[in-house]
Structure 1
Amino acid sequence: MRRVALVTGSAKGLGVQTVLNLARTGHDIVITYRSSEELAHKLKQDTEAFGVKCAAISADVSSKEDCDRLISQSLSEMGRIDILINNAGPYIAERKKLTDYTDHEWELMLNGNLSSVFYLARRVLPLMRENHWGRIINFGFTQANEAPGWIYRSAYAAAKVGLVSLTKSMAQEEADTGITVNMVCPGDIRGIYKEMTVQEAEAMAQETCSDPTIRPCTGEDIAKVILFLCSENSGGLNGNIIEINGGLTLQQLIDKHGNETDSN
């Protein structure tokens, strides 16, 4: 029996390497996308090349109705959900003070980054309990565990910091059920590096960097940690907030690039 992993927002960005690494290790996959239908179906083909089953389902995780439909359709097509990876995370690139957010933007940030996890987890946790095994992995941002202030990103930061507490609360509630709940906090992974392998980034560093031993983090760096969290050997890790940022703080990442990270 292969385990089934549902990876939200996985048609592009950081979700791509997570999907491919899980497929490579024998997991059936549900890919979700909001508008990137062509990319989703290309990734579906790449995933199925590993000999696993894959479904690509359109869903806006900021919508409760879409979250419910996503779970129902995933169960209809795959029969089970063993792993839930909440990678999708709406993000507003424009720098705004709190008073400049519209109601819609505030609700989008909170619903897409926090409430979506509640809607999805509420549906999958009973299924995981029946199997006495499950993995939920949420995405945060660097230093989310410390509840830092993040100027011009108040809505996004508030949602993700709230998700830290929700992650820990779910982990405690499910500690005796065989289900673990953890969070990964990527650093500022930009552009093509989001979908790169470590080997590709190392090769690029050899060509372009004055010090080729230094390379940016990649999507595969995140995927490798997620892969371990999804494994049988990770049962002792529960309620952890794991930084994957090359050792840089949020402020150092902002100073390094002159502006903030973009979305997943």
Structure 2
Amino acid sequence: MNNRQVALVTGAGRGIGRGIAIELGKLGWFVVVNYAGNAAAADECVALVREAGGEAIAVRADVSVAEDRDRLVNATLGVADRIDLLVNNAGVAPSVRADVLEASEESFDRLMSINLKGPYFLTQRVAKEMIGRGTGGQIITVSSISAFTASVNRGDYCISKAGLGMTTALWAARLAEYGIRVYELRPGVIATDMTAGVKEKYDSAIAGGAWPIRRWGLPEDIGRAVAAIARGDFPFSTGEVINIDGGFHLRTL
């Protein structure tokens, strides 16, 4: 592995995670491409990271399962001996968009386990490794504009993303003394598999000026923000929320 810095990126096979992995590859990092089920997509991402100038391996793990989280971290340490950057990116949308008056507990539990519990306890595990190594580190959690935007047909998703905001604040406050900085990225509408089914809706929103920068966000937009943090460009910031949403969060008259 030589002396490359090491990043563990969850949900990195496709979409935003792939965009992040490739940008880290451009910096020459060693990237652990975590995936839950699509091995072909993860292998493709590994090839793209290598093509960009980095090194990578793919590791299957479901972040909602404790044993899988342990195996993911152990596999990373077994190959790379350290973790310099954790990117909590893995997340899912509801299988069925349902009004909050009708939504099921099954969907709620699934989203909380993957989107919130998984990142919380993976951060706990990785933070302990970083503390033990004694050389600091950085942790990034990818949430969403849904952390503050109410969508009544996917309330479970919104609540899971809002919870990541407090997760970031808690870990930032707890880990600063160890030289570990923690950040939250809030993407807006990004062109991925998750948003493909509502393309017409968002095309119309863009045309109507729902956010000032009138285009779809791209996975590489998120990747570039991660790369800036990975380079150490924010040494006096922690607990910071970085909006990557075309200005959606602005309140204008």
TM-score by length of 2: 0.84
| Structure 1 contact 60–67 (Cα < 8 Å) conserved | yes
- Matched residue of 2:126: which SS? helix
- Alpha-carbon distance in structure 1 between the residues aligned to 2:152 and 2:64: 23
- Matched residue of 1:43: which SS? helix
- Matched residue of 1:234: which SS? coil
**Aligned residue identity for 2:142:** F
What's 1:230 paired with?
Answer: 230
Deviations 1:21-68 (A, max 9, x none): 101111100001112111111111222234533110111112222112
What's 1:115 paired with?
Answer: 117
User: In the alignment, is residue 22 of structure 1 matched against residue 34 of structure 2?
Assistant: no
What's 1:204 paired with?
Answer: none
- Matched residue of 1:232: which SS? coil
What's 1:102 paired with?
Answer: 104
- Matched residue of 1:100: which SS? coil
| Structure 1 contact 193–218 (Cα < 8 Å) conserved | no
Deviations 1:96-120 (A, max 9, x none): 1335333332111111111111221
CA change 1:107–1:214 in 2 (3 A) is: closer
**Aligned residue identity for 2:63:** V
**Aligned residue identity for 1:138:** T
98-107 vs 10-19, which deviates more? Answer: 98-107
| Structure 2 contact 8–32 (Cα < 8 Å) conserved | yes
Aligned 1:50-199 pairs, distance under 5 A: 50-129=52-131, 130-142=133-145, 144=147, 147-191=148-192
TM-score by length of 1: 0.81
What's the offset of the Cα at 1:250? 9.9
CA change 1:190–1:53 in 2 (3 A) is: closer
- Alpha-carbon distance in structure 2 between the residues aligned to 1:164 and 1:188: 18
**Aligned residue identity for 2:110:** L
- Matched residue of 1:225: which SS? helix
What's 1:217 paired with?
Answer: 217
- Matched residue of 1:23: which SS? helix
**Aligned residue identity for 1:166:** T
| Structure 1 contact 61–112 (Cα < 8 Å) conserved | yes
User: In the alignment, is residue 244 of structure 1 matched against residue 244 of structure 2?
Assistant: yes
Alignment RMSD: 2.5
- Matched residue of 2:113: which SS? helix
Deviations 1:75-130 (A, max 9, x none): 11222111110111111152213353333321111111111112211111122122
Given the alignment, which residue of 49, 52, 55 partners 2:51?
Answer: 49
- Alpha-carbon distance in structure 1 between the residues aligned to 2:92 and 2:251: 21
Identical pairs, percent:
30
- Alpha-carbon distance in structure 2 between the residues aligned to 1:244 and 1:97: 27
How many residues in Structure 1 have an aligned counterpart in Structure 2? Answer: 233
| Structure 2 contact 9–33 (Cα < 8 Å) conserved | yes
**Aligned residue identity for 1:170:** W
- Alpha-carbon distance in structure 1 between the residues aligned to 2:249 and 2:54: 38
- Alpha-carbon distance in structure 2 between the residues aligned to 1:156 and 1:31: 24
| Structure 2 contact 146–158 (Cα < 8 Å) conserved | no
- Alpha-carbon distance in structure 1 between the residues aligned to 2:59 and 2:41: 12
What's the offset of the Cα at 1:148? 4.3
CA change 1:251–1:38 in 2 (3 A) is: farther
| Structure 2 contact 214–246 (Cα < 8 Å) conserved | no
